[in-house]
Amino acid sequence: MIPIRDQNPTRSTPVLIWCLVAANLAVFFFELYLEFRVGHGVLRAFMYAYGAVPARLAHGVGWLTAFSSMFLHGGFLHVLGNMWFLWVFGDNIEDVLGNVRFLLFYFLCGLVAVIAQVWIDPTATVPMVGASGAIAGVLGAYVVLFPKARVVTLFPIFIFLQFVELPAFLFIFVWFGLQLLNGWMSLDAIGSNTGGTAFFAHIGGFIAGIVLIRVLGRAGETKSAQGRRVSYRPKA
């Protein structure tokens, strides 16, 4: 399932979402520069230096990489998929929290996501990269605040692609269910250092988002967001 857009108006311009998307794309283009103009070995060293390596973090070394890793990605589909989810769902969360609290929320969700994956696989030496843990937190907050918002979704039905409008809680329930299923299936690979998707980072980030939106969001704001109607500026 691919979210195309949500039918959920905002009151403010999502400046931080724009900045985060721009920063992630800028870093990815720098990765491409290293890969094609400098050399794959340099890119590999860069990813190991700034990616979150569980085996290092489990020994208390290099925890700043828990934050730098949120701006690194492993390929076009990785960065585009993450940025698209952030673009679709993030503006409403920034709208509720405001710039400063949203940035704190985003990085805390990303940090908890890294901690969750380190806890599950503390011997892994393959670096974790990507913003998906933090974005999973955004989805957790979204389902708390806007469970009934409509999400226009590109849905595969056999060999056909169909646009379907789903309530946010259903779209995110299916997404989270897939993370749980894939996380459970990946348990056999724990300790093998074969790489792959860090599904427990997604799970940890999602749960963090559910909790942190209640902590960082003021009661009046979250209640207002939950009851919001179309009186605000619609998305472009």
Residue 228: predicted pLDDT: 56
Phi-psi region of 234 (alpha: psi -120 to 50; beta: other; left: phi over 0): beta
Q: What confidence tens digit (pLDDT) does each residue in 5-33 have?
A: 999 999 999 999 999 999 999 999 999 99
**Is 163 inside a domain boundary?**
yes
**Is 196 inside a domain boundary?**
yes
Q: Which residues form the domain of 201?
A: 2-9+12-226
Average pLDDT over residues 180-195: 72
Helix (H, G, I), strand (E, B) or coil at 170: helix
Q: Flag whether pLDDT at 162 surpasses 50.
A: yes
Say which CATH number the domain at 145 has.
1.20.1540.10
pTM here? 0.89
**Is 234 inside a domain boundary?**
no
**Is 44 inside a domain boundary?**
yes
| Total domains, the chain | 1
Beta strands in the chain (DSSP E): 2-7, 150-157, 160-167
**Is 236 inside a domain boundary?**
no
**Is 231 inside a domain boundary?**
no
Residue 183: predicted pLDDT: 82
Q: Please tell me the distance from the alpha carbon of residue 70 to that of residue 120, in angstroms, as a whole number.
A: 19
% of the chain beyond a pLDDT of 90? 74
Helix (H, G, I), strand (E, B) or coil at 216: helix
**Is 235 inside a domain boundary?**
no
Residue 161: predicted pLDDT: 83
Nearest 5°: the CA angle 96, 97, 101 is 170
**Is 146 inside a domain boundary?**
yes
Q: Please tell me the distance from the alpha carbon of residue 80 to that of residue 78, in angstroms, as a whole number.
A: 6
Q: Flag whether pLDDT at 232 surpasses 50.
A: no
